[in-house]
């Protein structure tokens, strides 16, 4: 597997989602779908075969009223991988046709749709259910196809797709910076659609390797321990599996942090 | 009408009766072809698979029939490499059953991918880190070996054998078959293992994940081992079914017994390894990933401890005990029970490693997902089985598959 951070000026783009601020409004989901040409079906009631690169889960503390508490947890692709015990993403190492790859330059896990032949091994490997198979031909209501983004390819039936951290925006920002004679993309030049759309400002996006970026200050990733957050209110989903996600969650509530760590802890909150 | 094609010195039923017997099989086969066309034309939305159940009935069927087809490589290994000469009387049938199983597996894989026309990408853009890459390379190569092993049998057909070129070709192929048997055993060892590694390397799925010996997860070795144990049992089972249908004894008892005994010891050692694996996984691996053993078998409508008991006790310990004990093995009722249980045990293991792995929730706020295959999946799974029955029937009718048949069933 490739080792992260060996390239010159290696970035490690990541996301921090403040669950105390998230209201579960779903703006991030809508923005993501519109930005990335995510198709939808006439009947979206079966969530097991619909596509939502960004999905909002509802968590509850399981206690009766008046102690009941809920929390909304947006879940994009975790863009796992990097240093750590495994050092690679669950999905990248299993793809037989190298249709998904880990970028050393950005830390982003990419997906090559024209190379994917739909074996779905990556979906079986992803514990976050962040990968989606195109069970159906993509369709948009008449007229809506005019609004498709020209920067993102529409995916055909029979391939696996997923959140790319709006990678096309990175390409555009990089082009702009190069034209202006810079070799580094500024923090605000590259933001994901969900980050921009969140009305509560719950999502922060940036370079985890850059101490000047807000996300670095928020979660204080520890590179010696696979990027584990030093911020005590920050956590990553399924930390124990050592998938080394680049999506961090922040919550002041202990039960939320525990719920994200693993599924069997029985400690009281 | 077809009597000139039937091997000399053996008796076959009239062609009309033969065709009638294959009639229902052909109807189911056509149903499967219709479902297959639906899947190819309309896509995998014809199945009940979903984003949580990306692998389902087909992959289970694939893994199960490959394991059961393991009789070909292991019997070949025993016959040609170890030198168990008695097994020459069942090796033809083992190769035929293996050939059917591997063709079926390839056919299923051709339906199971979202973009079948891009299937060659697995070779062209091969990711050497992926277990599936190893599976694809070895499986394809091994199917080639099985074809090479099956061709001489076809050349032994009475009419084909009359052509000098084919006669000599068949004879020479027999002479060098040991090379292919050895190659086949090597290839099969690796792809059976890689299939075990498919779920074993999923470190994001604690139910399937196993730690490694060198670069391989333990399941790599367990799968090969269980295929070597269960495959010959399936060959024996199919032989017994053939004998029951044809109402003839086709293979002498000493041949069957030898294969069953070796199979029994393989099963006995395998099940010990499997129990050790389960204990280590339950007490070390799963807790280190944040899961309790009990968690994987509770709070759902289907997967309980019974499935573990079915796999290890009913499908492992009991048949192994019967097959390695002379007295029990010689009891026809117990013998058949053991063979059937061993086959069930291997199939349950593959089911668990494909479907239960995906059903277990991993995210703390997730829940168990259940899955019922669509009729299209069932029909297309039956399709290669029906094709296999037809191929075996035709081979039995027109090829000298069983060398002992004449001796055991003299024509007065």
Residue-wise pLDDT for B161-179, tens only, equals 999 999 999 999 988 888 9
| Nearest in space to B311 (alpha carbons), one of B277, B283, B266, B346 | B346
Shortest distance between the Cα of A99 and any Cα of chain B, in A, equals: 8
DSSP string, B271-325: HHHHHHHHHHIIIIIHHHTT--TGGGGSSSSS--HHHHHIIIIIIIIHHHHHHHS
Residue in A96, A238, A262 closest to B122 by CB: A96
Mean pLDDT of B267-295: 94
CA A184 to CA A162: how far, in whole Å?
26
The pLDDT of residue B111 is above 50: yes
The pLDDT of residue A182 is above 80: yes
Residue in A90, A115, A156 closest to B203 by CB: A90
Given this model, what pLDDT does residue A2 score?
43
Q: Is the dihedral of CA A251, A253, A257, A263 positive or negative?
A: negative
| Nearest in space to B312 (alpha carbons), one of B262, B272, B351 | B272
| Nearest in space to B320 (alpha carbons), one of B365, B260, B275, B255 | B260
> CB–CB of B146/B98 below 8 Å?
yes
Given this model, what pLDDT does residue A265 score?
56
Residue A48 and residue B369: Cβ atoms within 8 Å? yes
Percentage, residues of chain B above pLDDT 90:
86
Mean pLDDT of B316-332: 96
Given this model, what pLDDT does residue A87 score?
67
The pLDDT of residue A7 is above 80: no
Other CB atoms within 10 Å distance of the CB of residue A268: 6
pLDDT confidence band for A4 (50 / 70 / 90) = very low
Residue in B201, B357, B361 closest to A94 by CB: B201
pLDDT confidence band for A5 (50 / 70 / 90) = very low
Mean pLDDT of B176-199: 89
B244's CB contacts (< 8 A; 6+ apart) are none
| Nearest in space to B408 (alpha carbons), one of B201, B256, B230 | B256
Given this model, what pLDDT does residue B364 score?
86
Mean pLDDT of B303-326: 96
Q: Tell me which of A86-90, A136-140, B260-264 is least confident.
A: A86-90
Residue-wise pLDDT for B220-258, tens only, equals 999 999 999 999 999 999 999 999 999 999 999 999 999
CA B197 to CA B221: how far, in whole Å?
9
Mean pLDDT of B92-109: 93
DSSP string, A17-45: EETTT-----HHHHHHHHHTT----S---
Mean pLDDT of B8-22: 93
pLDDT confidence band for B311 (50 / 70 / 90) = very high
Q: Is A95 on the interface with B (CB under 8 A)?
A: yes
CA B58 to CA B374: how far, in whole Å?
11
Strands A247-250 and A13-18, by their bridges, are: parallel
Binding-face residues of B in 356-385 toward A, CB within 8 A: 357-358, 361-366, 369
Long-range contact pairs involving B334-342 (C-beta distance under 8 Å, separation at least 24):
B335/B260, B336/B240, B338/B233, B338/B260, B338/B264, B339/B233, B339/B236, B339/B237, B339/B240, B339/B260, B340/B237, B341/B314, B341/B315, B342/B229, B342/B230, B342/B233, B342/B263, B342/B267, B342/B315, B342/B316
Other CB atoms within 10 Å distance of the CB of residue B127: 19
Shortest distance between the Cα of B244 and any Cα of chain A, in A, equals: 40
Q: Is B125 on the interface with A (CB under 8 A)?
A: yes
Q: Take residue B396 and report the two structure tokens written for it.
A: 């039995």
> CB–CB of B87/B75 below 8 Å?
yes
Residue A48 and residue B206: Cβ atoms within 8 Å? no
């Amino acid at each position: 597997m490739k080792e992260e951070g060996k390239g010159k000026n290696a970035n490690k783009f990541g996301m921090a989602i403040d669950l105390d601020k998230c209201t579960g409004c779903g703006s991030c989901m809508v923005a993501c779908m519109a930005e990335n040409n995510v198709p939808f079906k006439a009947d979206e009631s079966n969530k097991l075969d619909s596509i939502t690169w960004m999905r909002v889960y509802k968590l509850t503390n399981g206690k009766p009223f008046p102690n009941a508490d809920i929390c909304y947890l947006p879940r994009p692709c975790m863009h796992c991988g990097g240093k750590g015990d495994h050092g690679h993403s669950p999905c990248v190492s299993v793809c037989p046709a190298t249709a998904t790859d880990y970028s050393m330059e950005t830390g982003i896990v990419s997906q090559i749709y024209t190379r994917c032949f739909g074996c779905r091994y990556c979906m079986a490997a992803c514990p976050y259910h962040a990968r989606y198979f195109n069970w159906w031909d993509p369709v948009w209501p008449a007229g809506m196809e005019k609004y498709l983004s020209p920067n993102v390819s529409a995916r055909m039936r029979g391939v696996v797709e997923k959140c790319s951290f709006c990678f096309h925006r990175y390409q555009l920002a990089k082009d702009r910076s190069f034209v202006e004679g810079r070799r580094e993309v500024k923090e605000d030049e590259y933001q994901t659609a969900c980050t921009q759309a969140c009305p509560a400002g719950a999502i922060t996006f940036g370079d985890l390797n850059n101490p000047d970026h807000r996300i670095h200050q928020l979660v204080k990733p520890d590179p010696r321990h696979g990027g584990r957050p030093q911020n005590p209110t920050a956590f990553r989903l399924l930390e124990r599996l050592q998938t080394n996600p680049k999506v961090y969650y922040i919550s002041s509530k202990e039960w939320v942090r525990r719920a994200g760590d693993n599924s069997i802890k029985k400690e009281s909150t | 009408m077809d009597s000139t094609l039937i091997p000399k010195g053996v008796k076959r039923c009239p062609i009309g009766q033969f065709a009638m017997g294959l009639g229902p099989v052909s109807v189911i086969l056509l149903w499967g072809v219709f479902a297959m066309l639906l899947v190819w034309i309309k896509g995998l939305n014809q199945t009940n698979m979903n984003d949580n159940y990306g692998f389902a009935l087909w992959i289970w069927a694939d893994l199960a029939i490959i394991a059961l087809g393991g009789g070909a490589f292991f019997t070949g290994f025993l016959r040609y490499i170890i030198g168990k000469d008695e097994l020459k009387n069942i090796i033809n049938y083992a190769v035929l059953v293996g050939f059917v199983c591997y063709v079926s597996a390839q056919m299923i894989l051709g339906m199971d991918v979202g973009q079948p026309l891009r299937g060659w990408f697995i070779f062209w853009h091969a990711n050497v880190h992926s277990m599936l890459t190893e599976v694809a390379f070895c499986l394809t190569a091994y199917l080639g070996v099985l074809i090479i092993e099956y061709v001489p049998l076809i050349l032994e057909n009475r009419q084909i054998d009359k052509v000098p070129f084919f006669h000599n070709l068949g004879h020479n192929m027999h002479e060098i078959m040991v090379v292919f048997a050895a190659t086949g055993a090597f290839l099969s060892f690796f792809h059976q293992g890689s299939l075990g590694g498919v779920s074993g390397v999923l470190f994001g799925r604690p139910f399937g994940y196993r730690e490694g010996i060198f670069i391989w997860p333990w399941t790599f070795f367990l799968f090969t081992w269980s295929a070597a144990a269960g495959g010959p049992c399936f060959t024996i089972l199919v032989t017994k079914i053939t004998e029951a249908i044809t109402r003839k004894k086709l293979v002498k008892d000493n041949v069957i017994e030898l294969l069953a005994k070796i199979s029994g010891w393989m099963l006995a050692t395998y099940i010990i390894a499997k129990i050790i694996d389960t204990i280590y996984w339950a007490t070390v691996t799963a807790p280190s990933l944040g899961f309790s053993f009990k968690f994987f078998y509770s709070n759902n409508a289907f997967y309980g401890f019974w499935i573990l008991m079915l796999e290890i006790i009913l499908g492992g310990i009991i048949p192994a005990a019967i097959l390695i004990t002379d007295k029990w093995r010689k009891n026809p009722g117990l013998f058949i029970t053991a063979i059937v249980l061993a086959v069930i045990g291997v199939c349950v293991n593959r089911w668990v490693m494909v479907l239960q792995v995906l059903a277990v929730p991993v995210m703390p706020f997730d829940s168990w997902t259940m899955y019922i295959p669509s009729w299209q999946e069932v029909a297309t799974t039956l399709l290669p089985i029906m094709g296999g029955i037809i191929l075996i029937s035709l081979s039995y009718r027109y090829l000298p598959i069983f060398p002992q048949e004449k001796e055991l069933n003299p024509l007065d």
